[in-house]
Chains A and B, each alone.
Chain A
Amino acid sequence: MSSLDDLYKEIILDHYRSPRNQGELPPPAHRCEGFNALCGDEIIVYVSLIDEKIEDIKIGGQGCSISQASASMMTEIIKGKSVTEAAEIIHAFKEMMDIYESELSGKEAESSASGIDLGDLEALQGVVKYPVRIKCATLAWNTLTQSIDEIQG
């Protein structure tokens, strides 16, 4: 199998071609921009947080298949979660993307250490073999983290 198939899993291409939760949320939803300085990709995360719960989330901007698919999958798993749950998911995802961790634990981590089921997102595991692309995969997640930090002051 070509290693490209590892990177471009069908589920990733599917999210890239038909991204979920694309668009904008009007104020008072929070708007936060993230940049990948390496390639100029830009993502905009809109979050509507009500009573500690992420009621709605939308993604704007542009990027490669990895950054777009990661953002799309992120919106699906994050929508409707509490801020605490979201933080756990973000942590689990970051852990999966951590190249050193993944090397230590030996290739394909089935499920993350924290016991959180990342579902479709596990398809992004193949990205760790391409270090420059890790930034693409984590762009939306870092922007979401920043967004939540900003909302909570």
Chain B
Amino acid sequence: MSIDVGKIKKDFPVLQRSINGKPLIYLDSANTSQKPASVMDAMEDYYRKFNANVHRGSYQLANEATAILEGARDKVRSFINANSRKEVVFTKNATEAMNLISNTWGRENLSSGDAIVLTELEHHANIVPWQMLAAEKGFEIRWIKIDDNGHLDLSDFDQLIDGAKLLSFAAMSNVLGTFTPVQDLTERAHELGMVVHADASQYTPHSYTDVQALGIDFLTFTGHKLLGPMGIGVLWGKESLLDSMPPFLGGGEMILNVTKEGFSTNELPWKFEAGTPMVAEAAGLDAAIDYLSNIGMNEIRNHEIELTDYALEKLASEFGETISIFGPKAANERGGVISFTFDGAHPHDISQVLDEENICIRAGHHCAKPLMQVLNVGATSRVSMYLYNDQADIDALVEGLHKVRNLFTL
């Protein structure tokens, strides 16, 4: 069943906005998604009716606030089919979740002579934390290359992972839209006893996520890309692994007991949640998951395949040789993310001209500079879609790109 985009659009207040009489065409959801009114209502409701610090009050308000935070955790648990709520840790964003893994599991398990494996598709958030730790510990970072269609080149995969301790990769690329074969890679890495982390920042908002079926050990994502607010992210990890890891940040919440001599850590998941948490954001994330679940992740994915297919066809047929589209050719092998370059016009200039039409797309390196080097470009333009986009948005984009072409090519 297809989704009713016209109806969905109405749920997003910012999409009602027009600037200089032109409606907003938002095609930058890989950067951050827009939020439905229900998310904002949940956050406001929290502050209007329930605000109190959590886990430490002995009055009703505090108990209700705690129930909101822990209720959001349960919501996330079932959304990603985790075994236990103990496995769901709230962080500031995906970046912090990845820094948590590198600073706890990484610091404990990696030393000179070891190796970890990343891919050329990675966002800086899944590169720099490892480089920081490698500079300190002296382990090796190996890279899985990509092929001409933006898929991982697995021809020497077994060799690459040989002797490595960690495989950490994006389940979906934020630049090329590529879906990586999570289950297959994980099985092969597990045969060698490796730990596997999937950066699902782009995957979870657009594809049904079942951590048990995927088989990985760690999964990270960020709330603001799945209709939720900025300021909340999720680290999911297998309970046994999380249990074995030292804490990340120290302070309140994460301790069981503190004496002058030292401290003992709290139970999971609070062991990794130092200080006052983001309760309103958790309420917003909870509402965002409800919104997505009501529509259905598979329906959303199907809508995006259809729309991506339409956009790929349309861009190719309108601009032919003058546009270079990166990444997998088939819409069902990629998410709703299309990166391209345009003859004669730089990505920055393209967004500038489109901005005049109130069309929002991103230009730049998309926090994936190593990938830009592999693609041999300094920057690309990136269009990214979500459940509130439709063919009319793509048509507006194409019209805007004609304007770009008229301005920059003679």
**A interface, CB within 8 angstroms of B:** 2-4, 7-8, 13, 16-17, 38-42, 62-66, 68, 130, 133, 136
Contacts and interface: CB of A to CB of B under 8 A. Distances in A.
Contact of A40 (B344, B372, B410): B372
B281 to A, nearest CB: 27
Interface string B328-369: 000000000000000011111100110010000001110001
A40 B352 contact: no
B407 A39 contact: no
Contact of A7 (B346, B352, B363): B352
B: interface residue count bin? 10 to 19
Q: 10 tightest A-B contacts by CB?
A: A64-B348, A40-B365, A64-B346, A39-B364, A62-B378, A65-B349, A40-B378, A40-B379, A64-B349, A4-B356
Contacts of B346: 62-65, 68
A8 B355 CA distance: 14
B408 interface: yes
B407 A4 contact: yes
Contacts of B407: 4, 8, 13
B378 A41 contact: yes
B364 A4 contact: no
Contacts of B356: 2-4
A42 B352 contact: no
Contacts of A40: 364-365, 369, 372, 378-379
B352 A38 contact: no
A41 B378 CA distance: 6
Nearest to B363: A39
Given A3-B356, A39-B363, 19 more contacts: A13-B407, A17-B410, A39-B365, A39-B378, A40-B365, A40-B369, A40-B372, A40-B378, A41-B348, A42-B378, A62-B346, A64-B346, A64-B348, A65-B345, A65-B348, A65-B408, A66-B348, A68-B346, A133-B352
Interface in B181-217: none
A87 B369 CA distance: 34
Contacts of A38: 364
Contacts of B410: 17
A116 B408 CA distance: 31
A136 B372 CA distance: 19
A135 to B, nearest CB: 10
Contacts of A68: 346
A39 B347 contact: yes
B352 A130 contact: yes
A62 B365 CA distance: 13
B320 to A, nearest CB: 21
A120 B185 CA distance: 57
Contacts of A133: 348, 352
27 contacts: A2-B356, A4-B352, A4-B353, A4-B356, A4-B407, A8-B349, A8-B407, A17-B344, A39-B363, A40-B364, A40-B369, A40-B372, A62-B346, A62-B378, A63-B346, A64-B346, A64-B347, A64-B349, A65-B346, A65-B348, A65-B349, A66-B348, A68-B346, A130-B352, A133-B348, A133-B352, A136-B348
Given A8-B407, A13-B408, A65-B408, A39 B352 contact: no
A41 B352 contact: no
Contacts of A7: 352
Contacts of A130: 352
Contacts of B378: 39-42, 62-63
Contacts of A64: 346-349
Contacts of A4: 352-353, 356, 407
Contacts of B369: 40
Nearest to B350: A64
Contacts of B344: 17
A106 B131 CA distance: 48
A40 B379 CA distance: 6
Given A4-B353, A62-B378, A63-B378, A39 B408 contact: no
B57 to A, nearest CB: 44
Q: Which of B344, B352, B369 has the most CB of A within 10 A?
A: B352
A7 B407 CA distance: 12
A40 B370 CA distance: 11
